[in-house]
C-alpha cells in the first residue's frame, strides 16, 4: 500500500542506544572540530574535561521512529527535509538512553508526502528525559492522497546585518570521516552511486552540515558551553559538497536566534533556522 495518513499517532520503540567517549570524539572531528576545540576532541587534555557537542543528539537520538508503520514507499525517493533537537540536559560523555518515537504528522504536498517523526529519549541511569528530536522527510511520488497540505508559513530572515557570522571550510574528505559516526549511505562516498542520483560527485551528509552549523552557534552564542545550548531547528535546502565553505549568519533577539547557512557561492544550504540558548 502507499503512504497511509492514518498512521499519524503511531508509536515505535522503546529503542536503547549506548555511546562512549570515543563515539563523541569521532563525531566532533567528523563535524570539523579540531585543535582549538580540545574539550570536544580530546579526553586527556590537562584542566580540560571532555564534553559533548550538542548536535551529537542527532546521532544518539531519533530512536523508535516508526517508519515501518506509514505504508510502503521507495526509500530512494526519500529526501531529508528538516531536523530539530531539544536538549533537556547536557549530553554526558558516555551513557545509555531509551527512546520512543512517534509519527507526528503526514502532509500531502501533491508531488510527494511529508512525513514528520518525533522522538523522546530518557537517560537509563536516572530515568530523566535528556533530549527530543524532530525530523521530516519528503517522499517523492507519494502525494495526491487527498490529505491536508500542512503549514506553509515561512520564517522571515531579518534584513539587517547579522549579529554574528562564522565561516568554516569543510575538508574534501569530510564525508569519509563523518560516515564513521553511522551513516554509511554510498551517496556520500561512492562517485558512481552519486552520479546515479544526479550528482557530479558524492555530497556531504546533511547532518554533517547541521553539525558544522551547530558548532558556529555554540561558540558564538554559548561561549562554547554545551549546557547553555537548548534547541536548534531548520530545513535542508541545497546539497553541500565536501570541500565547500559554510558561512553561518545569526540574528539574535534575547535568548533566541534566527540563522541561515550558505556555501561559498552564496547559496542557502540550511534555511529557516531557529535556535534557543541560555
Catalytically active residues are: 183, 188, 203, 206
Question: For residue 265, what is the DSSP state?
Answer: T
Q: Which residues face 48 on adjacent strands?
A: 45
- For residue 133 the three cell numbers come to 528530536
Instruction: Phi first, then psi: give them for residue 267, nearest 5 degrees.
Output: -75, 135
- Report the C-alpha gap between 146 and 5 in whole angstroms: 9
Grid coordinates of 101: 518515537
Distance of alpha carbon 31 from alpha carbon 212, whole angstroms: 5
Residue with cell 539587517: 160
Amino acid at each position: 500500500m502507499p503512504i497511509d495518513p492514518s498512521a499519524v499517532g503511531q508509536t515505535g520503540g522503546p529503542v536503547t542506544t549506548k555511546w562512549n567517549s570515543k563515539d563523541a570524539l569521532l563525531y566532533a572531528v567528523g563535524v570539523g572540530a579540531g585543535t582549538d576545540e580540545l574539550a570536544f576532541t580530546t579526553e586527556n587534555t590537562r584542566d580540560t574535561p571532555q564534553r559533548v557537542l550538542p548536535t551529537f543528539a542527532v546521532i544518539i537520538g531519533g530512536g523508535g521512529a516508526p517508519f515501518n508503520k506509514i505504508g510502503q514507499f521507495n526509500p530512494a525517493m526519500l529526501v531529508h527535509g528538516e531536523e530539530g533537537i531539544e536538549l533537556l540536559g547536557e549530553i554526558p560523555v558516555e551513557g545509555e538512553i531509551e527512546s520512543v518515537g512517534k509519527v507526528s504528522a503526514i502532509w500531502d504536498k501533491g508531488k510527494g508526502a511529508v512525513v514528520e517523526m518525533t522522538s523522546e529519549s530518557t537517560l537509563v541511569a536516572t530515568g530523566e528525559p535528556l533530549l527530543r528530536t524532530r525530523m521530516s522527510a519528503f517522499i517523492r511520488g507519494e502525494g495526491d492522497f487527498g490529505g491536508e497540505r500542512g503549514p506553509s508559513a515561512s520564517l522571515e530572515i531579518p534584513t539587517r546585518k547579522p549579529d554574528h557570522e562564522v565561516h568554516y571550510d569543510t575538508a574534501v574528505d569530510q564525508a569519509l570521516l563523518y560516515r564513521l559516526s553511522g551513516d554509511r549511505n554510498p551517496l556520500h562516498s561512492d562517485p558512481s552511486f552519486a552520479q546515479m542520483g544526479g550528482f557530479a560527485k558524492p555530497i556531504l551528509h546533511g547532518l554533517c552540515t547541521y553539525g558544522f552549523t551547530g558548532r558556529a552557534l555554540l561558540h558564538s552564542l554559548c561561549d562554547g558551553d554545551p549546557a547553555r545550548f537548548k534547541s536548534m531547528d531548520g530545513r535542508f535546502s541545497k546539497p553541500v559538497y565536501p570541500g565547500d565553505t559554510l558561512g553561518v549568519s545569526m540574528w539574535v533577539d534575547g535568548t533566541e536566534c534566527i540563522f541561515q547557512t550558505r556555501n561559498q557561492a552564496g547559496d542557502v544550504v540550511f534555511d529557516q533556522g531557529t535556535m534557543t540558548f541560555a
